[in-house]
Each structure stands twice: as C-alpha cells, then as structure tokens.
Structure 1
C-alpha cells in the first residue's frame, strides 16, 4: 500500500479534514465567504434569466437554481457510484 493508494489518500484527507475542523470553533464563519459567493452566483444567474423580476421572484428562482445544481451533482455522484459498482 503506497502513498498513492486511493484508500491511503482518502484516510489522509479525512485525517486532515478532522484536524482542520477541530481547530475551528465557529464553522459558520469559516465557510461564510464561500456560501455568500455561491448564493451570489445563483442570484446572478436568476437575474440574467429574468431581468425584470422582483427581488422576491429572484430569491425564489435563485433557490431553485441552487436546488437544481445540487440535484445534478447528486445525479452525477449516483451514476459514478453505479459505474464503480459495475466495474
């Protein structure tokens, strides 16, 4: 089992992630900038699709864009897992 072995890499990554989060007392503040950037991206997409919409409508569309994005990621992940099981 060498250092490039996927299992070893996964264990090292998990170790690093847990050690990093153990040093973080306020996880929300640590991820706030990334969450704001993602929300801004979905809002920009909503405004591009519907330039005359109200702020309430934009918020609703942005929420659905975000949900669609994560549903697409889930679908890709499920397909990858199925492919790996078949291999």
Structure 2
C-alpha cells in the first residue's frame, strides 16, 4: 500500500481528512520533541504545530528558550477549533 492510500485508510478510520493525517505525520517527523510533547498534552493543536514548523523548520530553533511558547501560542490562537487527529491515534500508522 502506498503512503497516500495508507493515509486515506487512517483518515477514514479516525473520521478526519487525509490531509489532516498527512499534516500530523509531517509534524511528527519534523517537529522538535518539545512540540510533540505540547501536542500530546493538549497544549497546542497539530495544525498549530504544522504552522510552527513551516515558519521554523530547524528543530533546534523550534525549542529556543522563550521562543517556542510564544510561537506556539500565536500559531494556536489562529487555529483553535480545527479538527486534527492526535498523535496517540496516529501511532499505529507512523513508523
């Protein structure tokens, strides 16, 4: 099964769009561990983290002191209410 089809199957089983699954996978692969922890704890959304890594692709810069919290709050305030799968539900599909 190709990646697009696998993402489609995962999306269908979780009741979200294929794009939401692809976004979550991209975030999991490209975000600093602190960003992943913030998603897992419910502090930010997957979508907000996606916006952060678009703007700050360097994982080390994502976790600079004082930088990540402000960046995440700005990104998250713009995206609250969007529906994205949690990483917990995607762990079966991400290797």
Q: Which has the higher contact order (CA 8 A, sep 6+)?
A: 2
Global fold match (TM > 0.5):
no
Alignment TM-score, normalising by the size of structure 2: 0.27
Structure holding more helix per residue: 1
